[in-house]
Amino acid sequence: MPKGEWFDWHLHPQHQFAWAAEGMLTVQIGDAAYVLPPSRALWIPAGILHRTGAASTSSMHSIYFGGRQWVEPTVVAVGPLLAELIQYLADLTLPSAPRRRAEAVLRDLLVPVPVSTIHVPTVSKRLSLIAQALTDDPADDRDLAAWGRLVGASSRTLARAFVAETGMTFGAWRTQVRLLASLPLLAAGMPVATVARRVGYATPSAFVAAFRRVTDTTPGAYFS
C-alpha cells in the first residue's frame, strides 16, 4: 500500500487480524485511531465498522478468524515468532490442516498491549473548515477569534459549538488532533523535538506533557 492509500469504511463477517510487515498502518474505528508499526497488530472484531490506511508505504497482512477472542478492538504485540506465523499463513496455497494448526498456535501468541487510543471526535460541516486546516497543519496556532473571522462566527459561538459537538473545548480537541498527527512521525523514528515542532508545540517538554496526559505514557515508550 503506498503512503496515503485507504480502504474506505467497511466491516467483515469474521474477526480480522491486521498487521504491517513493513511500514505503518492506521486503523480508524469510530473516533479512535490505532497507528501500527510492525511491532503491533490489531484484532478487529467481526461486524466492527473501520477503515485502514497506510501511514507510510506499507506491506499489509490480514488473517480472518471465526470463533471467539475479544469483543473490542485489541492491540497485540508482534514478536519474531508471531511475525513469521502471519507470513506463513499469508500463503493462500497452504492446505487446510496445517493452516488450522498454525492458526491455533497464532491464537496462543496473541498478547494484548495496554494502550490508550487518541480520539478525535468528528465535527459538523460548520466546523469542518477549521478541522481540515488543523489536520493539514497541526501547528496552526490560530485562536478561536481568528478562526471566527475566517468562518464568519464569533469566538463564543465556536467555543459553544466545539463543546456541543465533541464534548471537548476547542483547546482539548486541537490537542487530540496534534497528538494523532504525531503518531506516524514517532513511529517512523523522528526525534521527539522535531515531532513537537511539526505538530505545534514550542518545546519538546510541552509535547511530552500533553502526550503523557492523554495516553498515560511518554512518546518514547509508546511504540516500545
- 113, part of any domain: no
Please check whether residues 100 and 149 belong to one and the same domain: no
Supply the pLDDT for residue 31: 81
Please check whether residues 186 and 210 belong to one and the same domain: yes
Instruction: Extract the C-alpha cell encoding 66.
Output: 471465526
What is the DSSP secondary structure assignment for residue 71, as one 8-state letter? Answer: S
Asked if 144 contacts 203 with a C-beta cutoff of 8 angstroms, the reply is: no
Please check whether residues 77 and 142 belong to one and the same domain: no
Please check whether residues 16 and 104 belong to one and the same domain: yes
Distance CA 93, CA 111 (A): 28
Asked if 121 contacts 170 with a C-beta cutoff of 8 angstroms, the reply is: no
- 114, part of any domain: no
- 39, part of any domain: yes
CATH number of residue 169's parent domain: 1.10.10.60
* Number of domains making up the chain: 2
Per DSSP (E only), the strands in the chain are 6-10, 15-22, 25-29, 32-36, 40-44, 50-54, 59-65, 74-77, 118-119
Last-in-domain residue among 108, 138, 170: 108
Chain centre to alpha carbon of residue 149: 32
- 115, part of any domain: no
Supply the pLDDT for residue 120: 87
Please check whether residues 135 and 60 belong to one and the same domain: no
Domain that holds residue 173: 120-222
What is the chain's pLDDT, residue by residue, as a tens digit (224 residues)? 998 899 999 999 999 999 999 988 999 998 888 888 888 899 999 999 999 999 888 999 999 988 878 899 999 989 999 999 999 998 889 999 999 999 999 989 998 987 777 888 888 888 999 999 999 999 999 999 999 999 999 999 999 999 999 999 999 999 999 998 998 888 888 999 999 999 999 999 999 999 999 888 888 887 76
- 46, part of any domain: yes
Place of cell 502471519: 86
Distance CA 126, CA 20 (A): 36
